Structure 1
Amino acid sequence: MTDVAVKRLSAAQADFDTCLSRLLAWEDSVDDQVNESVRHILRSVKTRGDAAVLEFTAKFDQLQANSVADLEVSRERMQAALESIPKEQREALEAAAERIRDYHERQLQTSWQYQDADGTVLGQKVSPLDRAGIYVPGGKAAYPSSVLMNAIPAKVAGVGEIIMVVPTPAGVVNDMVLAAAAIARVDRIFTLGGAQAVGALAYGTETVPAVDKIVGPGNIFVATAKREVFGTVGIDMIAGPSEILVICDGKTDPDWIAMDLFSQAEHDEQAQSILISPDKGFLDQVEASIRSLLPTMERADIIAASISGRAALIEVADLAEAARVSNRIAPEHLELSVEDPEALIELIRHAGAIFMGRYTAEALGDYCAGPNHVLPTSGTARFSSPLGVYDFQKRSSIIGFSAAGADRMGRVASVLARGEGLTAHARSAEYRIKS
Structure 2
Amino acid sequence: MFVDKVKIYVKGGNGGNGMVAFRREKYEANGGPAGGDGGRGADVVFVVDEGLRTLMDFRYQKHFKAKAGEHGRSKSQHGKSTSPMIVRVPPGTVVTDADTGEIIADLTQHGQEAVIAEGGRGGRGNIRFSTPKNPAPYISENGEPGVERYVEMELKLLADVGLVGYPSVGKSTMLSVVSAAKPKIGAYHFTTIAPNLGLVGTPDGRSFVMADLPGLIEGAHEGVGLGHQFLRHVERTKVLVHVIDMAGSEGRDPYQDWVQINEELALYRAGLADRPQIVAANKMDLPEATENLELFREAVGEGVPVFPVSAATRSGIEELLYSVADQLDSLPKVDEVLEPVSEESEQKVYQAEEPEEAFTIRRDNEIFVVEGPRVEKLIRMTNFQYDEAIRRFAHTLKVMGVDDGLRAHGAKDGDTVRIDEMEFEFRD
- The structure whose Rg is larger is 2
When normalised by structure 1's length, the TM-score is 0.22
Give the strand-richer structure, 1 or 2.
2
Give the helix-richer structure, 1 or 2.
1
When normalised by structure 2's length, the TM-score is 0.22
